[in-house]
């Protein structure tokens, strides 16, 4: 078992989720409650990581993050190091590819709040931020947690994008799934087996949790 990779994966998942919590809430709430031209296109763009091969995503991110690219240059200017083959680069890639996993459940949860309840909050004297804190978040929390759990689990399991953007630098970019691949390449099947089992168990627990939360959300609205 590659504990360093395990630790790195968990750290990557935690940081990704920490970024996705506010981003997902803001994007999900915006998509749920706003109507604008091109909303369908925006939603489609957001869902792209669900259907594109991870290598394609990884390729675009690698090109986009490269030191010659505008984003790469800007990042280099601000933080003093590049995005490619670094943990920071992995975090940015991970946040981007996990957007649909985080935003979609949150958006659905916000959409499920009956409009008259939010309007009742407004005429009860709640300012928009209070409506968010006292109405939206308490009613949408199962969707929010689902989004975070799915993103965390997906980050732990992501392979193609991580390999393209991060490579396999121990302690920096070698995550659990990369380590499994490396172990198999090195014929260390027992390590690969252990780590695969750990990921399998975690994915099962994550999915069971999200299903339980959706059931709870449905029940509480019953």
Q: Which is nearer to another protein, 66 or 112 (CB)?
A: 112
Burial class (CB in 10 A: 0-12, 13-18, 19+), 83: buried
- At closest approach, how far in Å is the CB of 38 from another protein? 21
Q: Which is nearer to another protein, 135 or 195 (CB)?
A: 135
Which residues, other chains included, contact 186 with Cβ-Cβ below 8 Å and sequence gap of 6+? none
State the Cα torsion 5-85-13-33 to the nearest 10°. Answer: -170
Cα 103 to Cα 40: distance, rounded to the nearest angstrom: 14
- At closest approach, how far in Å is the CB of 122 from another protein? 4
- At closest approach, how far in Å is the CB of 123 from another protein? 5
Binding site for another protein (CB under 8 A): 114, 116-117, 119-128, 130, 134-135, 138-139, 220-222
Q: Which is nearer to another protein, 80 or 222 (CB)?
A: 222
Judge contact between 155 and 36, C-beta under 8 A: no
Q: Which is nearer to another protein, 70 or 115 (CB)?
A: 115
- At closest approach, how far in Å is the CB of 134 from another protein? 7
- At closest approach, how far in Å is the CB of 116 from another protein? 4
Q: Which is nearer to another protein, 51 or 129 (CB)?
A: 129
- At closest approach, how far in Å is the CB of 138 from another protein? 5
Q: Which is nearer to another protein, 73 or 133 (CB)?
A: 133
């Amino acid at each position: 078992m590659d504990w360093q990779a395990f630790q790195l994966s968990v750290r990557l998942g935690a940081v990704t989720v920490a970024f996705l919590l506010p981003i997902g809430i803001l994007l999900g709430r915006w998509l749920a409650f706003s109507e604008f031209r091109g909303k369908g296109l925006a939603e489609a763009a957001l869902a792209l990581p669900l259907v594109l091969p991870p290598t394609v995503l990884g390729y675009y991110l690698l090109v986009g993050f490269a030191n010659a690219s505008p984003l790469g240059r800007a990042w280099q200017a601000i933080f003093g190091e590049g995005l490619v083959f670094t943990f920071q680069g992995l975090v940015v890639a991970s946040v981007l590819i996990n957007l649909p996993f985080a935003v979609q459940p949150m958006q659905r949860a916000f959409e499920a709040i009956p409009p008259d309840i939010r309007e009742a909050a407004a005429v009860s004297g709640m300012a928009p931020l209070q409506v968010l804190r006292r109405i939206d978040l308490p009613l949408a929390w199962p969707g929010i947690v689902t989004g975070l759990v799915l993103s965390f689990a997906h980050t732990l399991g992501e392979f193609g994008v991580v390999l393209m953007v991060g490579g396999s630098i121990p302690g920096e970019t070698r995550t659990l799934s990369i380590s499994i691949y490396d172990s198999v390449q090195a014929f260390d099947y027992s390590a690969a087996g252990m780590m695969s089992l750990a990921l399998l168990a975690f994915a099962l627990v994550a999915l069971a949790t999200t299903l339980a939360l959706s059931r709870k959300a449905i029940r509480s609205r019953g």
